Amino acid sequence: MARSVTIGNGKLLVGLDMRGQVRDLYFPFVGEANHVSGASGNYVHRIGVFVDGEMSWLDDPSWRVTAGLNESSGIGSMFAENQTLGISISSSDAVHNEHNVFVRHFTIHNHCDEERTVKLYLAQQFRLHESRRGDTGFFDPRVNAIIHYKGNTTILVNASTDGKPFTSYNIGLFGIEGKEGTYLDANDGRLEQNPIEHGSVDSVIELDLSLPPQASKDAYYWVVCGQSVPEVHTIDELVIKEGPDRLIASTEAYWSAWLEKEQSNVSALSHELQTLYKRSLVVMRVHADNNGGIIASSDTDMLHHGRDTYSYVWPRDAAFIALALDRTGYRDVARKFFEFIADRLEPAGYLMHKYRSDGVLGSSWHPWMTDGKPQLPIQEDETASVLFVLWEHYERYKDIEFIESLYNRFIEPAAEFLGEYIESLTGLPQASFDLWEEKYGTSTYTAASVYGGLMAAAKFANLLGKDDASRTWQAIAERMQRAIAKELFNEKTGAFVKQVTHTEDGELEYDQTVDSSSLYGLLLFRVLDVEDERMQSMLKVVEQKLQVHGNSKGFVRYEKDAYYQQQDADSPNPWVITTLWIARYYIELAQNQKDLKPALELLEWTASHATRGGVLAEQMHPDTREQLSTAPLVWSHAEFVMAVQAYLEKLEMLKK
């Protein structure tokens, strides 16, 4: 289920599903441990209403629910209505920008003409550190709150209405010993008030509200995260003293000020595009850990269909997200990422597949051996992309002292690796996994990225007076540029190949699959000019082979892409990033304002595939437009922001 809202402060991140229920809660690192997830179940924090002797949870189809991120702030909202019950619930949701607390302001409205007693139930299912063992949950009478803890993670749950605390509670087991969940205890409108449990623990609290006819009342709910019981007590006291509404208001003011830092004039865009642009900035920021790691997605639903999630720091994805933030003025987030990734570099000068946001090496399926032969289990474009993006950062901010601090520990060893990991016969990079993490060889995209990375390193070396290194890396890059044009372009098909590999006989074997990354890599890393005949020819092939001709006219990754392809679809799924890549090409190619129309159409296509709350997925069904895979995919939001920036800059230039 796609996340309709992701809110956070760089240490605590909360994800809400399309029914306004908590599905993700990461703390203290964004992406490292999701305390509402687990490999064996789909856990959730439920919201329920007991009225007129009937219990109804918001995941029941009788509730019509909408949820999303507010247009100009990092505040979430939810509205749920049950016409049969005559009850509606709205919420304003925030993770405080300073303190690690998730706050919800609920407004419950009685649509009937008689006074009614309504019980609001809020149920929590925690999997602390994503493990079902050793959790403790207890009612703490010192602060009238529920506390869940394990190890150095402590979570406090509290709520109030009319200035009074919640009236009842229960703590029990779920997911073990045949227990489905303690939330079921609320179905009769009474809670048993068991004060403590350990193992796989959940909890539920009750708020009692007396609602006059056609009237509303407010209720407040907050979840505090810390490392100890005294710490969460202190923050809980602050919430009560300051008031939940004040915390939400101060968070909203913070995000409004944060968004105002971005000074781009987006008035030439439709309201829909402007809104998605602002929401994309917030999505990128909340997925950036305060220690520098930027995760690909916080959506852990994939865990329940496979072996892992996207909540890791891929150096490539994170580099492009950092680039988008850099281009919109948020240099501090980008600088923290560069510091983070520089510390991950292997002694030999390359980056590994992916990392956790606490800096530990992430899981991988890339082998060190294939057919009895050793190989590097890397995607070389990840190392090269960081170098390339780092130069983009310097060109914008000219922070020479920062660059100097990274030269010896990252720039130089990374460039030396790129310059040495070369095929002597072709001048192309040696084999590594492609950016799609599927094939081992030398892809056109990877070769283009290595060219871009080496050219960036040569500029850095020249900047710092390292003349010999600068000349060496530039010479290697220029040789690679010639090799790309010679070895990877097929004159007969008019397209660049997907990749080349060496057979056991030492012959070159070409994969002729048309891949959108082959076109975009050459454009992004400035290997060939946008008007080069080979690029123009490749564009025509991509348009012919990779554009979807169903209900969703985006672009697929490559021919016969089977990743998440649906059985009822005749085409692979269009991806947001690949569609925006083509928009970027159209923008580069435009000679007048009329030429920008195809790019604008693809920007509008992107916005039309976002959720009502402004979330972009990785891919979607080519016919039904259903979001597939993970949502949000932060790279999708980054590419949208960069495409909008490129469009506005080109539009302004063409007006002159």
Q: Could you write out the DSSP letters of every residue in 36-64? A: T-BTTB---B-EEEEETTEEEETTSTTSE
Are 400 and 533 found together in one domain? yes
| Torsional sign, CA 582, 584, 585, 586 | positive
Single pTM value for the model: 0.95
Helix (H, G, I), strand (E, B) or coil at 161: strand
Last residue of a domain, one of 208, 227, 259: 259
CB-based contacts of 99: which residues, under 8 Å, 6+ apart? 235, 238, 247
- Residue (of 323, 374, 346, 317) closest to 630 by Cα position: 317
8 Å CB contact between 79 and 90: yes
Helix then strand then coil, in percent of the chain rounded to 5, is 35, 25, 40
Last residue of a domain, one of 546, 579, 608: 546
Q: Write down the mean pLDDT value for the chain.
A: 94
Are 439 and 558 found together in one domain? no
Domain residues for 621?
265-325+553-656
- Residue (of 100, 98, 97) closest to 252 by Cα position: 97
Q: What's the confidence (pLDDT) of residue 1?
A: 58
In a domain, 231, yes or no: yes
Are 531 and 623 found together in one domain? no
CATH number at residue 380: 1.50.10.10
In a domain, 15, yes or no: no
Residue 88, token pair as written in the block: 């509606």
Q: CA dist 610 to 268, 271, 276, 620, 628, Å?
A: 20, 14, 8, 10, 12
Number of compact structural domains in the chain? 3
In a domain, 113, yes or no: yes
Are 271 and 214 found together in one domain? no
Neighbours of 141 (CB within 10 A): 8
Are 530 and 583 found together in one domain? no
Are 100 and 162 found together in one domain? yes
Phi and psi torsions of 17, nearest 5°: -85, -175
**pLDDT tens string 216-233:** 999 999 999 999 999 999
Are 230 and 276 found together in one domain? no
The arithmetic mean of pLDDT across residues 120-127, rounded, is 95
In a domain, 240, yes or no: yes
Residue 624, token pair as written in the block: 């039904």
Q: What's the confidence (pLDDT) of residue 307?
A: 60
- Residue (of 461, 488, 487) closest to 473 by Cα position: 461
Are 382 and 469 found together in one domain? yes
Q: What's the confidence (pLDDT) of residue 305?
A: 44
Helix (H, G, I), strand (E, B) or coil at 608: helix
Are 494 and 585 found together in one domain? no
Residue 178, token pair as written in the block: 């045949």
Last residue of a domain, one of 530, 546, 562: 546
**pLDDT tens string 415-430:** 999 999 999 889 999 9
Q: What is the percentage of the chain residues whose pLDDT exceeds 90? A: 84
CATH number at residue 171: 2.70.98.10
Are 372 and 389 found together in one domain? yes
Q: Is pLDDT larger for residue 566 or for residue 335?
A: 335
* pLDDT higher than threshold 90 for residue 8: yes
In a domain, 381, yes or no: yes
Task: Name the E strands within 52-195.
Answer: 54-57, 64-69, 76-82, 87-95, 101-110, 116-125, 135-140, 145-150, 153-161, 164-165, 168-173
Please give the Cα distance from 387 to 166 (Å, whole number).
54
Please give the Cα distance from 364 to 369 (Å, whole number).
13
